[in-house]
Amino acid sequence: MGKERAVRRTTWGNLLVVVVAGALLFSACAWAFQVSELSSASMSPALLPGDSVLVNRLIYRLRPPRQGDIIVFHFPQTGGRDYVKRVIGVPGDVVQEQAGRFSVNGIVVHESRTDPSDRVQALSAIRGPQRVPADRLYVLGDNWRTSLDSRLWGPVDEHEVVVKAIMI
């Protein structure tokens, strides 16, 4: 009977460890990942208003944003409102816009999908080479017609980046 009691105690102890570990793992995942809903068309066709995206709040504590990442950031000049954009330039990169094409370090990375006669494109037909400063990111919306981005604001402070969108 003593042996049976010891086995039960061990089983309950193991079960308690599994439950506590599961609760801790669930809490960590709930903190690191969250679902966010978009309200802007600036990232269409990749992301549309009303789309939900899974975002990772932990990744940029481990590494800096990279070219091509879709990020969510606070923009202080707009009262801290959150924006979703694609990173095209990281610190040290040379970004240039010419006739709706963005090149980074001489390689075309983004072409406008908008009408060449579009007013926004006409205003920014040639934007001379600009080196992305340290701790800054050059960001663009995929939909140039509706996007407020680094073309108008300049590079975004890396410290304002909140999360990375990882799944649409």
- The catalytic residue positions are 42, 85
In whole angstroms, what is the distance from residue 9 CA to residue 149 CA?
61
42: Cβ–Cβ under 8 A, 6 or more apart, which residues? 83, 84, 85, 141, 142, 143, 146, 147, 148, 149
Q: How far is CA 131 from CA 65, 79, 85, 134, 154, in A?
A: 17, 27, 19, 9, 11
Tell me which residue of 112, 164, 156, 161 sits closest to 136, measured CA to CA: 156
